[in-house]
Structure 1
Amino acid sequence: MTKVGSNRRRRRLKKRMAMALPLSLPLPPRISKVIEVNKNVEIPIPDSSTRAIEDNRSDTQISQESSNNISNDEWLISVKNYDDKTVKPQIQRIPSLLREKQSNKKCYDPLVVSIGPYHHGKQLDSHHEKQLDAFEKLKIPIAQKFWHACENKVSIEQIYEAVAREGNSARECYEEGPTDESFNKMMFLDACFVLHFMSVFETESNYSNGTDMKNPLGPLLPWSSYLTFVCRDLFLLENQIPSQVLKVLMKFRFKNESEGTMLIQNFLDKMTTIMPPQERTHTNAVKKVVQRMMGCSVQKKEERKINMDECHHLLHLVREQLIGSSPEDKNEKKSVKCLLYLDQLVGSSPEYKKEKKWYSYHSVTELKSAGIHFRPSQTNHVTDVKFKSHLFSGTLTLPRIMVDDTTKPLLLNLAAYEMCPGGPSDFRIMSYICLMNSLIDHADDVKELRRKRILVNNLGSDDELAQLFNEISNGLVFDPKEYEDLMLQIQKHCESKAKVWMAECIHDHFSSPWAFLAFLGAIFVIFLTAVQTYFAVFSH
């Protein structure tokens, strides 16, 4: 019995082991198809180890999401609390967008004298390098002349120490430059050159014979031949010196600050000939006489006072002088805005507003054919542009501008100054350049503006002047709101068929004074014929 029981236990153990081993026998086809279809189906096994793994995975995902939320919150907080404390340099480089244009490359580099660190010791071609080196050597004797001309008898060491104390703040005005003592020496020599050149230019005798400042490029060439080039270089954006350095030297050179300010003011008035002074006409004289007879106050000559504290350099002063407006102009602009606001209230329909915002640019020839005449403004500001529509005509008032070889560099550097980060908040000079480009397309447009004494062409032919504005305006950004009201008024005038028809009729049939006199004679003959017929019929 014992042997039989042990055999049974062995058989049971073999059966269990056989059940635990994998099946090696081929399965039936129907079962193999079911297994093949459902082989990717995962059957969850409620095991304790798998539950632990899933719990660990969920905990890891939650921790990652929380860390991402924290990083996002920190990023948003950094955006919210961001404060740009970096001070933009006041004297910056020319934007690459403008310097890359081949036709304007020469308008940004000095020809004879370098001021500041940007072009100091710059390697140029042999001719320009010779001129820059010659004027660089001239700065030392000019600094000596400036020291001798100082009102307060002080040592030259005291003057240099005063400039050196402004070295750190002056260095922050540039994007790059030396950081050692050579920067202070450069500021001292450049500031002495600029102020002494202005004082020499102010004296008519020194300007005519050149006895004070000798020509460094050769005794045979007169100094006056280089005055224009020096003045051109002093108004380049990359060739500026901070006004605070000039103010330090002005305290030693003059008795009070007003004398130094007047020197710079007179220099700017003489050299910024882009806007020539107002012409004395008989009409203005008659207006003044009538105003005196009527007891009205006569407007005095505009006193333009520069502010050295608010302006950063000479080019900034030139810009303020060109865009400055008198109180009368500001009041007139306010009244125009009030009238436009009332016009908007009257035409408050959506179709009216949508139609009013559209306008197109017209050339001088096109505006003339629409009955719009041109005349020079009473001020020398680029912002003094007005339009007035009459019964059958219109009048566009523009500031007078004198164009010569220095006009293109000056306008381009003013435009570059407006494009610099941290520069002026408006684009008034660029808007004026784009306005003139829209008015001038061909030589006939230049001829008409010359005839109206708005343009003074000292450059060459009318074709060259028209091409000048086309080259300058290429790539510039203008403010569409600067002349928006003006353009809307011109567009409204040009869309009036009655005014355009009358203008065309006058231009075609009465352009000659003899044709107008013949028309008056014909009207007079018709009138006499009608009177004669009336008395012949009703005489009895």
Structure 2
Amino acid sequence: MEENEYVVSIEELHARKAVKRVESQAIGPSHDQNKKKAAVDSLKEKLKTLLEQRDNSTTTPQQPKIQRVVPMLRYKENFEKHYEPRAVSIGPIHHGKSRLQIAEKYKPKLVRKFIQDNRTDGEVLCMKVLEDIKELRNCYEEEVTESYDDESLAWIFFLDGCSTLQFIHSFKMGGELKQYFNIKNDQIAFAQQDLFLLENQLPYRLLKLLMNSTGSNCDEYKKSIKLFIGSTSTAPEKLRHKIIPDMDGKPEPAHLLDLLQSALLSQPRETTHDDDDKKEENYRRQSFRNIQELKEAGIQFKPSSSCSLRDIDFNSLCFAGFLKLPPLTVDDSTEPLLLNLIAYEMCPDNSQTDYGVTSYVCFLDELIDSAEDVKHLRSANILQNSLGSDAEVAKLFNDIGTDLVPHPEAYMKVKDRIQKHYENRWMTWMAEAYYKHFSTPWTILAFIAALIALALSSVQTWMAVSSWRSARPCDELCKNFTMHRKP
């Protein structure tokens, strides 16, 4: 009988299923409605938060924070060589790395010199840095400084800030770094490059605080920074005095790299022309590929009057065109310098940038394809090659220009005027004839000699004809006189 207690008829089983189905139908809809309502309320709350964050960012634009190089650049070959310091760490990002400890022994010497020269109290100065630590910390991305407490971070800022200012000031004094601090020339060169790496920056707010503590010497330190930035720029040495950073402008610079970028881009943009009011959709599609093609079309290259990377212009005269480019020195420091300026423009919070350096590099990358293109720029005194072969320079710009996105309107008017000249076949034919027959002084002399020979031949022929015509009336007169004397 106990086994029969577990026997359930088919009718009873269907009845139980029906009951469960009815119960689920009765309970299910209200439960689903509650879940949907909760999801909608959650989405509304998230949307409200998102809109509030957007409004805050648009009404109060902030200066870009010091941060690491963006991930899309970190995969590039030789990343450490171009973006990480090789001699000295400045700031919290690379602080404490074992391979940079050699330079740490020089920092206390530089700090002592800074304090002695300016007769300041080091303890008081360090406390000023600590009092401003909240604002200084806010100059960095949060993940960069979160592992440091206020005292540790203030000490890094004090030590690196004073030593950096003294290094720059002693750099201006000539041999002081080598004679007074016993710093070797190669260490000086690498340290100079390291001071303009994106991940190796100190807030200008800190440098300004330290300079203001020097009293009457403040202007001397500002002057030293200006000369230091000029000596680090891409301009040829004899033109570096034209690179003048605005240290007291508004907004205040974020750091030394920002100051260098603004100095390189500070001068006028493209020269205005009569056709500058054309809309972007009317611009011609670019078909020229490199400098050699432009040269064959009669375009000549000349250095611009300034060293600003924006000072690029094109003018067309008769069958010749003239493209002006800013003078440029290429050496071992050029690639890391340009790459870090580009990395700074690519920072997510750098919303005020117009990608000036990125656009300039992309424009050069369009013009330079081979060593022959570099040779033309050298011949025109636009490019000074202190790197190596012309092929190395061409490869440098081709490598840097890979995967870069310039500002869509950068040099648009210049490119349009170049394309207009390039498409003019009459100018192209005249240019081809000129470069084919007058490319060397000997061909020009041969042409002049041919013209002189042709002129002399024409004069000789004219004189012969003229003498024949003048002699003919005399012959006829003699003939008539003879005829009249016959009986």
Instruction: Place the TM-score, normalised by the shorter chain, in its bin.
Output: 0.7 to 0.9
**Does the CA-based 8 Å contact 1:494-1:500 persist in structure 2?**
yes
Displacement of 1:523 after TM fit? 2.5
Match of 2:114 in 1: 146
User: Do the aligned partners of residues 229 and 84 (structure 1) sit closer, same or farther apart at CA in structure 2, a change above 3 Å counting?
Assistant: farther
Displacement of 1:393 after TM fit? 0.8
**Does the CA-based 8 Å contact 1:364-1:439 persist in structure 2?**
yes
User: Do the aligned partners of residues 265 and 58 (structure 1) sit closer, same or farther apart at CA in structure 2, a change above 3 Å counting?
Assistant: closer
Alignment of 1:474 with 2:402, yes or no, is yes
TM-score (norm 2): 0.81
Cα offsets for 1:254-278 (capped at 9, x unmatched)? 4154333212111112232x11255
Match of 1:275 in 2: 235
Match of 2:334 in 1: 407
Alignment of 1:122 with 2:97, yes or no, is yes
Among the aligned pairs, what percent are the same residue?
A: 37
Match of 1:497 in 2: 425
**Does the CA-based 8 Å contact 2:298-2:431 persist in structure 1?**
yes
Match of 2:6 in 1: none
How many residue pairs end up in the alignment? 436
Match of 1:180 in 2: 150
- SS of the equivalent of 1:102 reads coil
- Take 1:61 and 1:213, find their aligned partners in 2: how far apart are those partners? 76
Cα offsets for 1:401-444 (capped at 9, x unmatched)? 11111111100000000000122421110111111111111111
Equivalent residues in 2 for 1:256-335, closer than 5 Å? 257-272=218-233, 274-277=234-237, 305-307=246-248, 310-325=252-267, 329=268, 333=271, 335=272
Displacement of 1:88 after TM fit? 7.0
- Take 1:61 and 1:204, find their aligned partners in 2: how far apart are those partners? 79
- Take 1:520 and 1:279, find their aligned partners in 2: how far apart are those partners? 39
Match of 1:5 in 2: none
Equivalent residues in 2 for 1:101-140, closer than 5 Å? 101-122=76-97, 129=99, 132-140=100-108
- Take 1:315 and 1:303, find their aligned partners in 2: how far apart are those partners? 14
User: Do the aligned partners of residues 167 and 80 (structure 1) sit closer, same or farther apart at CA in structure 2, a change above 3 Å counting?
Assistant: closer
Equivalent residues in 2 for 1:191-202, closer than 5 Å? 191-202=161-172
AA at the equivalent of 1:407: T
- Take 1:78 and 1:248, find their aligned partners in 2: how far apart are those partners? 36
User: Do the aligned partners of residues 232 and 393 (structure 1) sit closer, same or farther apart at CA in structure 2, a change above 3 Å counting?
Assistant: same
- SS of the equivalent of 2:399 reads helix
Match of 1:213 in 2: 181
Displacement of 1:466 after TM fit? 1.1
Match of 1:255 in 2: 216
Match of 2:17 in 1: none
Over the residues paired in the alignment, what is the CA RMSD in angstroms? 3.1
User: Do the aligned partners of residues 84 and 224 (structure 1) sit closer, same or farther apart at CA in structure 2, a change above 3 Å counting?
Assistant: farther
- Take 1:429 and 1:455, find their aligned partners in 2: how far apart are those partners? 17
Cα offsets for 1:207-254 (capped at 9, x unmatched)? 5xx221123xxxxxxx22211101011010000000111111112224
User: Do the aligned partners of residues 303 and 198 (structure 1) sit closer, same or farther apart at CA in structure 2, a change above 3 Å counting?
Assistant: closer
Match of 1:462 in 2: 390
AA at the equivalent of 1:359: Q
Cα offsets for 1:124-149 (capped at 9, x unmatched)? xxxxx1xx112113212221121111
Bigger Cα Rg: 1
Match of 1:83 in 2: 54
Match of 1:23 in 2: none
Question: What are structure 2's unaligned runs of at least 5 residues?
Answer: 1-21, 471-487
AA at the equivalent of 1:317: L
User: Do the aligned partners of residues 233 and 61 (structure 1) sit closer, same or farther apart at CA in structure 2, a change above 3 Å counting?
Assistant: closer
**Does the CA-based 8 Å contact 1:191-1:241 persist in structure 2?**
yes
Cα offsets for 1:148-196 (capped at 9, x unmatched)? 111xx33211111111112111111222121331110000000011001
**Does the CA-based 8 Å contact 1:98-1:475 persist in structure 2?**
no
**Does the CA-based 8 Å contact 2:130-2:154 persist in structure 1?**
yes
